[in-house]
Structure 1
Amino acid sequence: MNIGSKNKKRVVLPSRPEPPTVDQILEDINRAAPNDPVFSILERTGQDAPRPSDSDAELRFQQCRRYLELNERLQEVRGQLLRQREELRAAGEQLEKDVAEVKGQTL
């Protein structure tokens, strides 16, 4: 058992500073020189590669949304077609019975 650990005082760490505001971050970026090491590191790692713009993201979102709407509409129409097919099948059977009845009466 380690007796010395009970006698150690706990070190109180200083509290964390508040994170910088957006304005402070923008000011810092604007004050940075073009040859600042951060910018050269980003170039070497490829992290400054162009990202899709908001308009691209919005376009893709609208395409996905339209796809889901069309898919839902397709499912609704499929259900309607199944009901209509069943109605036509029943009407065809009734027509065959009626034709057979008419043929039976004429003979």
Structure 2
Amino acid sequence: MNIGSKNKKRGVLPSRPDPPTVDQILEDINRAAPNDPVFSILEKTGQDSSRPSDSDVDLRFQQCRQYLELNEQLQEARSRLLRQREELRAAGEQLQSDVEEVKGQTL
């Protein structure tokens, strides 16, 4: 008998609790002590909850601009590809028509 083939009873897991609301999250954050490990981790990684520096704001602004520019380029590329696909489809239909015409002439 294969060990993997044994029937094992699996208990039913309890359903997941509902995610906390925004108010509950804010209340939890406000109740946290200043020495809470989460805040010390954020300080170590440079993600302190204090006001972001001007360089952080500039960096985010540049990232947003790059995103918008890339998104516009992708939209243009999509339009170009759709147009080229339609042109190829039309060329394929014309080629098929030409092939049928040539076949008809050789009979």
For the aligned pair, the TM-score class normalised by the smaller chain equals: 0.5 to 0.7
> Sequence identity of aligned pairs in percent?
80
Normalised to the residue count of structure 2, the TM-score between the two structures is 0.52
Equivalent residues in 2 for 1:1-107 (5 A)?
A: 50-107=50-107
**What is the CA distance between 1:53 and its match in structure 2?**
1.0
Within 1, Cα distance between the matches of 2:79 and 2:99?
30
Alpha-carbon distance between aligned partners in 2 of 1:58 and 1:95, rounded to the nearest angstrom? 54
Equivalent position amino acid for 1:92 in 2: G
Larger Rg: 1
> What residue identity is the alignment partner of 2:87?
E
Structure 2 Cα separation of the partners of residues 63 and 50 of structure 1 = 21
CA RMSD of aligned residues (A): 1.6
- TM-score w.r.t. the length of structure 1 is 0.52
* Paired AA for residue 103 in structure 2: K
- Give CA deviations for 1:54-75 in whole Å, capped at 9, x if unaligned: 1111100000000000111111
Gaps of 5+ in 2: 1-48
**Which sections of structure 1, spanning at least 5 residues, go unmatched?**
1-48
Aligned structure 1 segments of 4 or more residues deviating by more than 6 angstroms:
none
Distance 1:83 1:50 in 2: 49
